[in-house]
Amino acid sequence: MKAKLFREPVYREDGDLWLTLRGQQDEIRHYFRQVGQELVLDEAEGYAFIRQLEIEGEDRLPRLVQRHPLSYWATMLAACLREEFLRFDAGQGDSTRLVLSRDELRNLIVDFMRDSTNQVRDMARLDRAIQQLLDLGFLRALGPADENRFEVMRIIKARIGPVELEQIQKRLLQHAQPGA
């Protein structure tokens, strides 16, 4: 359980793992606090992950969980997915899962893309961004039979808050401007 949390988030869909985490959360929180980590468990959204405790002062703890810098395209896609979740949750449809196709992902970021004549290169960049978000657990492929559809994982809401979303969008719009 603890080793999995060091690598990736745990979701409600993980079944027994999720139940074990919920049942032992006090013990798990205590363990992670001892090593400078904080367990974030959101039962309503159905995910758990750990993050580095930020201790002010000179006694900074070494970073145990590796940070993953996002490429420009992955940042752009993550911000668009976060905004899409705002619209999805406001719509209050029957589904609790946000599922998008590869074309829908591309349509989300088209406003932030600079004008380009090389669509093959742009699609390759989008594919790399999708793979990066898959690796980080922000997206989940719906299986080999349907490799062009992805579930957007709710953890993205915890990783990109409203303030960060606004800052990212401003930078992306500036970058998309001709001559920027």
Determine, yes or no, domain membership for 22: yes
Determine, yes or no, domain membership for 39: yes
> What does each of the 180 residues of the chain score in pLDDT, given as a tens digit?
888 898 888 999 899 999 999 999 999 999 999 888 999 999 999 999 998 887 666 566 666 666 667 888 898 899 999 989 888 988 877 778 899 998 899 888 877 666 667 778 888 888 899 999 998 889 999 877 667 899 999 999 888 888 888 888 788 777 766 655
* Residue 106 shares a structural domain with residue 154: yes
Mean pLDDT score across all residues of the chain: 84
Determine, yes or no, domain membership for 109: yes
* Residue 96 shares a structural domain with residue 172: yes
* Residue 31 shares a structural domain with residue 78: no
* Residue 116 shares a structural domain with residue 167: yes
Backbone phi, psi, residue 137, to 5°: 85, 10
* Residue 172 shares a structural domain with residue 99: yes
* Residue 91 shares a structural domain with residue 37: no
User: How wide is the angle at C-alpha 132 spanned by C-alphas 128 and 135, nearest 5°?
Assistant: 135
* Residue 94 shares a structural domain with residue 137: yes
Longest dimension (CA), the chain: 55
Q: For residue 20, give its domain range.
A: 2-52
* Residue 78 shares a structural domain with residue 48: no
Residue with tokens 């752009």: 76
Determine, yes or no, domain membership for 147: yes
Q: What's the one-letter identity of residue 177?
A: Q
Determine, yes or no, domain membership for 65: no
Rounded distance, CA 62 to CA 23, Å? Answer: 29
Number of domains in the chain: 2
* Residue 39 shares a structural domain with residue 95: no
* Residue 82 shares a structural domain with residue 164: yes
Q: What CATH number has the domain bearing residue 87?
A: 1.10.10
Determine, yes or no, domain membership for 59: no
* Residue 87 shares a structural domain with residue 158: yes
* Residue 118 shares a structural domain with residue 81: yes
Residue 47 contacts residue 83 (beta carbons within 8 Å): no
Cα separation values, 2 from 6, 23, 49, 69, 97, Å:
6, 13, 10, 23, 26
Determine, yes or no, domain membership for 63: no
Determine, yes or no, domain membership for 62: no
